[in-house]
C-alpha cells in the first residue's frame, strides 16, 4: 500500500468515474426514492445530469418515459454506472 | 473515447443544454411533486426560471394557470426540456 | 438562434424580471404552501422581499392582512409577478 | 420607471428596512409556525435577532414570555416590522 | 434616530450579546423542540456551545442531566440569555 | 469581566474543548435521535469523528457495537465529552 | 497530553482514516437508514464514494446487489471502516 503524492490527487476520482460513464446506460436514485434509468449524456461537477431515453421508476415499476431529461444533482442519492450489469 | 482538454470543459453542459431550451415548451417537477408546464423564457445558473403561459399540475391534473411565473431553482427536481416530445 | 456574448450575460435575467415587478401586485408561494398577495416594495438578490398591504392565504382562503411584511427569500417556491393577470 | 446605477444599489434594501425597525415592536414567524412578538433590539445581516419583552405565540395563543431572547435568523419565515399596525 | 458609521458596525451585535452571556445561566431550544438549561461556558461564531451542569428538557419535563455538553450551533432555534429572569 | 483581544480569540473554544476530549469516552446524539457511546479517537473542524469500541443506542437500548466507526459531523446534535460522568 | 503544532494538523485525520480504508470492505449508512456493504474503491473529500460488489440493506435484509455504485457523500450518516470486524 505504497502511497505517494499521486495517490493524494486520485482522491477526487469518484466523480471522474462518473464522467467515464457518459454515453453508457445508468440507473440513479433520488432522495425521494424515485429512480431513473437511461443513457447518461452529460454530467457536471454538481452531479447535474442529462439523461436520454430515460424511464422513471417508482416502487420498482416504470411510470413515465422521457426522450431527454435534466436532473438536478443535489437530489441525488446514488448512481449505478453500468445499468446493464445489475447483479 | 479520445478525451482532451475540450472534453473537460464540456463537463458543465447539462446547464448549457437547459439554456438551449429557452423559448421552447418544458415540463419541470419541484421537490414537493408539483409540476409546471410552459414556455421557458429565462433560466440562470441557479436554475431560477421564468415560465410563460404556465400550467400548474398536481397529481397529474392541472390546478392553475399563470401568464408568467418565477420559479426558484433550489426547489427543482428535474426539467424535461422539450414538453412536446413526451414518449 | 444566433448566440453571442450578450446572450451569455442575459442568463441572470429571471431575477432582473423580478426587480422589474417592484411596485406592482404579486402573488408568492412559500415552501410550506402559504401564499402572500401584495405590493412588492423591495426585493434583493437573495429574494428577500418587502410586501405592502399583503394578504396571507392558506388553502385558498385569506387568513391575515399585513400593512408591511418582510419575507425571507430562502423559503420561496415561486412568484407570480403580476397578480392582476391571473388566468 | 427610469432606472440608473443608484437603483441597482437599492436592491439590498429589504434588510435595511428591517434595520430601521430596530427599537420598534415586531411580530416574526419561524419555519415551525411559532411566532414571537416583542421589541426588536438588534438584528444582523443573517437575520439573527435580539427581542426584548417577547411573547411566544403558538396557534394564536401566548405560551411564554421572555425578558430577552436571541433568535437564530436561519429559521425565520417572515417579520412584520410594525406590530402595532396589524390590519 | 441619527445614524452614522458606528451604527452600521453595530449590526452584528446579537452574537456579541450572546458572548456577554458567557458564564451565566441560559435556556436554549433546538429545532426539534428539545431545550437545555445550564451555564453557558463557551460560544463561538457558529453558535456552537459548551454548557455546564445542563438539564435536558422535553415537553417541559427534565429528562437528563449533563455535567458538560457540547451543542452544535446549526440546530439552534433560540437562546434565552438569562435563565434566572423568566417572566 | 475585563475583556481583551485574547478573549476575542477564545471564542472558538467549544471545538477546542472537543479536541481535548480525544482519547476519552464520549456520548453523542445525532439529529435522528440515535446515540453513540465510545472512545473519541479523532475529530476534525467539521465535527467528523472516529469512535473506537462504539455502542449504538436507540431509545435508550444498545442495538449494535462497532470496533471502529466514522461519523459525519453534519448530522451531530450534541456531544457529552465525558461519558463516565453522567449525572 | 503535550500538544504541539503537529497535533493541530492531525485534526483532519477522520477523513484520512477513511482514505486508508480504500480497498477494504466497509459498511455505510445513509440518512434514510439504507445501508451498503461493499469494497470501498474510491472516496473523495466530500465523502462521495465508489463501492464495488455492494449489497444494499434495508431493515437488516439485503434487497439489491450492485457490481459498482457511486454514492453521494452528503447523504452519509456513518461508515464502519472494516466490515469484517463487526462485533
Burial B40-57 (b: 16+ CB within 10 A, else e): bbbbbeebbbbbeebbbb
Length of chain B measured in residues:
87
Asked if B80's CB is within 8 angstroms of A69's CB, the reply is: yes
CA dist G5 → D18, G2, G8, G9, G11 (Å): 45, 10, 5, 7, 11
Report whether pLDDT(A10) > 90: no
Look at residues E27, E30, E58, E55 and name the one whose alpha carbon lies nearest to residue E40. Answer: E27
ipTM: 0.83
| Residue G12 sits at the chain F interface (C-beta within 8 Å) | yes
Q: What percent of chain B has pLDDT over 70?
A: 80
Report whether pLDDT(B65) > 50: yes
Report whether pLDDT(B83) > 80: no
Task: For domain E12-82, give its CATH number from 3.40.50.10140, 3.30.70.100, 2.30.30.100, 2.40.50.140.
Answer: 2.30.30.100
Q: Which of residues 39-78 of A touch G (CB under 8 A)?
A: 47, 76-78
E6-63, pLDDT tens digit by residue? 444 444 589 999 999 999 999 999 999 999 999 999 999 999 999 999 999 999 999 9
Rounded CA-CA distance A26/B20 in Å is 24
Strand partners, E26: E38
Q: Specify the higher pLDDT residue, B10 or B81.
A: B81
E vs B contact (3+ beta-carbon pairs below 8 A): no
Rounded CA-CA distance D7/D65 in Å is 41
Distance from CA of C13 to the nearest CA of B (A): 7
Grade residue B84 by pLDDT with cuts at 50, 70 and 90: low
What pLDDT, on a 0 to 100 scale, did the predictor assign at position F13? 82
F18-65, pLDDT tens digit by residue? 999 999 999 999 999 999 999 999 999 999 999 999 999 999 999 999
DSSP string, D1-68: ----HHHHHGGGHHHHHHHHTTTSEEEEEETTS-EEEEEEEEE-TT--EEEEEEEEEETTEEEEEEEE
Asked if C72's CB is within 8 angstroms of D47's CB, the reply is: yes
Report whether pLDDT(C4) > 90: no
SS3 of C23-64: the string is CCEEEEEECCCCEEEEEEEEECCCCCEEEEEEEEEECCEEEE
Contact (CB, 8 A) for D42 and D75: no
The mean pLDDT of C30-35, rounded to a whole number, is 95
Mean pLDDT computed over every residue of chain B = 85
What angle is formed at CA F6 by the lines to CA F5 and CA F7, rounded to 5 degrees? 90
Contact (CB, 8 A) for B77 and B31: yes
Look at residues G61, G54, G63, G49 and name the one whose alpha carbon lies nearest to residue G25. Answer: G54
What pLDDT, on a 0 to 100 scale, did the predictor assign at position F82? 77
What pLDDT, on a 0 to 100 scale, did the predictor assign at position G84? 59
Asked if G66's CB is within 8 angstroms of A86's CB, the reply is: yes
What pLDDT, on a 0 to 100 scale, did the predictor assign at position C13? 82
**Which CATH architecture fits A21-85?**
Roll (2.30)
What angle is formed at CA B76 by the lines to CA A67 and CA B74, rounded to 5 degrees? 150
Asked if F69's CB is within 8 angstroms of G80's CB, the reply is: yes
Which one of B14, B77, B85 has the shortest CB-CB distance to A50?
B14
D72-87, pLDDT tens digit by residue? 999 999 999 876 554 4
- For residue B68, which residues of chain C lie inside 8 Å, CB to CB? 80-82, 85
Which one of E11, E47, E80 has the shortest CB-CB distance to D45?
E11
D12-85: CATH topology: SH3 type barrels. (2.30.30)
> How many Å from the N-terminal Cα to the C-terminal Cα in chain B?
30
Rounded CA-CA distance F12/B14 in Å is 41
Distance of CA A33 to the CA centre of its chain: 14
- Torsion angle (degrees, nearest 10) of CA A39, A45, A46, A50: -20
Dihedral sign computed on CA atoms, order A46, A52, A58, A60: negative
A11-62, pLDDT tens digit by residue? 458 999 999 999 999 999 999 999 999 999 999 999 999 999 999 999 999 9
Asked if G13's CB is within 8 angstroms of F42's CB, the reply is: yes
- For residue B14, which residues of chain A lie inside 8 Å, CB to CB? 42-44, 48-50, 70
Report whether pLDDT(E68) > 60: yes
What pLDDT, on a 0 to 100 scale, did the predictor assign at position C84? 59
* Domain boundary assignment for chain E: 12-82
Q: What percent of chain C has pLDDT over 90?
A: 72
What pLDDT, on a 0 to 100 scale, did the predictor assign at position C82? 77
For the B14-85 domain, the top CATH level (class) is mainly beta
Asked if G47's CB is within 8 angstroms of F69's CB, the reply is: no
Look at residues D53, D76, D77 and name the one whose alpha carbon lies nearest to residue D66. Answer: D53
Q: Specify the residue for cell string 437603483.
A: D7
Report whether pLDDT(B7) > 60: no
- What's the alpha-carbon Rg for chain A, to the nearest Å? 15
Asked if D12's CB is within 8 angstroms of C45's CB, the reply is: yes
Grade residue F83 by pLDDT with cuts at 50, 70 and 90: low
Rounded CA-CA distance A54/A49 in Å is 12
Distance from CA of C57 to the nearest CA of B (A): 15
Rounded CA-CA distance D30/D37 in Å is 12
Rounded CA-CA distance G39/G17 in Å is 15
> How many Å from the N-terminal Cα to the C-terminal Cα in chain F?
30
Asked if E75's CB is within 8 angstroms of F14's CB, the reply is: no
Strand partners, B48: none
Contact (CB, 8 A) for C13 and C20: no
What pLDDT, on a 0 to 100 scale, did the predictor assign at position A1? 37
The mean pLDDT of D15-19, rounded to a whole number, is 91
Grade residue D13 by pLDDT with cuts at 50, 70 and 90: confident
Report whether pLDDT(B9) > 60: no
Grade residue F84 by pLDDT with cuts at 50, 70 and 90: low
CA dist A73 → A42, B63, C4, C11, C78 (Å): 12, 28, 28, 20, 21
pLDDT averaged over consecutive 10-residue blocks of chain G (87 residues)? 43 82 95 96 94 95 95 96 62
Asked if F17's CB is within 8 angstroms of E45's CB, the reply is: no
Look at residues D76, D52, D78, D74 and name the one whose alpha carbon lies nearest to residue D65. Answer: D52
User: Would you tell me how many other CB atoms lie within 10 Å of the CB of residue C9?
Assistant: 9
Which one of A49, A66, A72 has the shortest CB-CB distance to B76?
A72
D21-36, pLDDT tens digit by residue? 999 999 999 999 999 9
F38-48, pLDDT tens digit by residue? 999 999 999 99
> How many Å from the N-terminal Cα to the C-terminal Cα in chain G?
30
Which one of A10, A15, A82 has the shortest CB-CB distance to G48?
A15
E vs G contact (3+ beta-carbon pairs below 8 A): no
> Between chain F and chain G, how many beta carbons pairs sit less than 8 Å apart?
58
Report whether pLDDT(C11) > 60: no
Dihedral sign computed on CA atoms, order B73, B78, B80, B81: positive
Look at residues E17, B87, C67 and name the one whose alpha carbon lies nearest to residue D87. Answer: C67
What pLDDT, on a 0 to 100 scale, did the predictor assign at position A84? 59
Residues contacting D27, CB < 8 A, separation 6+: D35, D36, D37, D79, D80, D83, D86
Asked if A45's CB is within 8 angstroms of B13's CB, the reply is: no
pTM over 0.95: no
Dihedral sign computed on CA atoms, order A36, A38, A42, A45: positive
Contact (CB, 8 A) for D67 and E87: yes
**Which CATH architecture fits F12-81?**
Roll (2.30)
Residues contacting G15, CB < 8 A, separation 6+: F44, F48, G45, G47
- Residue G3: exposure state from Cβ atoms within 10 A (0-12, 13-18, ≥19): exposed
Q: Which long-range contacts (CB under 8 A, 24 or more apart) does C55-58 make?
A: C58/C33, C58/C34
Amino acid at each position: 500500500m505504497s502511497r505517494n503524492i499521486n495517490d493524494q490527487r486520485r482522491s477526487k476520482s469518484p466523480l471522474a468515474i462518473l464522467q467515464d460513464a457518459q454515453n453508457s446506460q445508468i440507473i440513479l436514485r433520488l432522495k425521494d426514492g424515485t429512480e431513473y434509468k437511461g443513457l447518461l449524456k452529460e454530467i457536471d461537477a454538481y452531479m447535474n445530469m442529462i439523461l436520454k431515453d430515460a424511464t422513471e421508476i417508482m416502487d420498482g415499476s416504470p411510470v413515465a418515459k422521457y426522450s431527454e431529461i435534466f436532473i438536478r444533482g443535489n437530489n441525488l442519492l446514488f448512481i449505478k454506472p453500468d445499468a446493464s450489469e445489475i447483479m
